Amino acid sequence: MTPESTGKRRGPRVRHFVLALVAALVLLGASWIIPNWKDLAAFLPMPAHTYARFMAMQLFVEGRSEEEARNWSKLPLPILGSVKIDRAAKSVTVTAYFFRATARWVDERHGVVLE
């Protein structure tokens, strides 16, 4: 056999193997996601709410600087999105994983609440 004919035969085999591997990974992922969807759906808004509340508590209750509040409020998950601090309204709005959460300082008695 010549190298050209060997290359032509390996191409479809490799392609089929890669497609089978991708299909197996998709099925494996779906077999885990489908039974756990209720828990995953409940988890997705949590990082935005937690980060917003932590930031608001550090800024408006503890009186820390923005840098100190960011360092203290770090989560072991990446926050994908934005953080907006409104000092006039004493609120922090965080967007993460397609969810938006706003935490606002109300007063001495109620502290920081999520809206």
* pLDDT tens digits for range 53-94: 999 999 999 999 999 998 888 877 776 688 999 999 999 999
Per-residue pLDDT at 89: 95
Three-state secondary-structure class, residue 20: helix
Q: 82, 80, 84: which is closest to 56 by C-alpha?
A: 84
Q: Looking at the predicted structure, is the pLDDT value of residue 8 above 80?
A: no
CA diameter of the chain: 84
Name the band, by pLDDT with cuts 50, 70 and 90, for residue 98.
Answer: confident
Ranges of beta strands (E only) in 1-115 are 81-86, 91-96, 99-107, 111-114
Closest CA to 27 of 17, 39, 15, 19: 19
Task: Report the predicted TM-score, pTM, of the whole model to 2 decimal places.
Answer: 0.68
pLDDT digits (tens, 9 = 90+) for 14-65: 999 999 999 999 999 999 999 999 998 888 888 899 999 999 999 999 999 9
Model pLDDT, residue 38: 93
Quick check: helix, strand or coil at residue 44?
A: coil
Domain-by-domain residue ranges, the chain? 3-42, 44-114
pLDDT of residue 101 exceeding 80? yes
Which amino acid is present at 44?
L
Write down the pLDDT at residue 23.
96
